[in-house]
Amino acid sequence: MKLKILKKKIRRLEKRLQEGSSKLAKLKQNLQAAESAKAMKAARKSPARAARQIAKTAKPQTTGTKKPKKKLNLSAERRAQLSAAMKARWAAKRAAEANAKGDSAGHGSAQRPLPQPPENKPDGA
């Protein structure tokens, strides 16, 4: 039996332990034997490959499958409203980044006041 199937059966039997304690013990033994056989098989392979295989089996495996993402049932008006809000948010983010870049470029250089043109005096001087 495959490891995945054995683990699944063990989980199911642990839920109803009072019914199949002897069967549970037998399945656990089968699981341990299968895991040790897999480790022995991995040890016969190249050392790098064996290490990878051992590391893979040492990771805790997830028990459930990934749930599919729910599709939002939006009306056309609400979808347009959300789209406009997101576009406005992105535009504001781009503007903030542009301002930050513009400020950082002028930050290092000393800012001098612009020279003012000479005033025209009526006495000609």
Q: Across residues 10-37, what is the average pLDDT?
A: 82
What pLDDT is recorded for position 69?
83
pLDDT tens column, 47-64 = 666 667 677 766 555 666
Instruction: Classify residue 27 as exposed, middle or buried by CB count within 10 Å of its CB (0-12, 13-18, 19+).
Output: buried
Residues 78, 60: contact at Cβ < 8 Å? no
For position 121, what pLDDT does the model report? 60
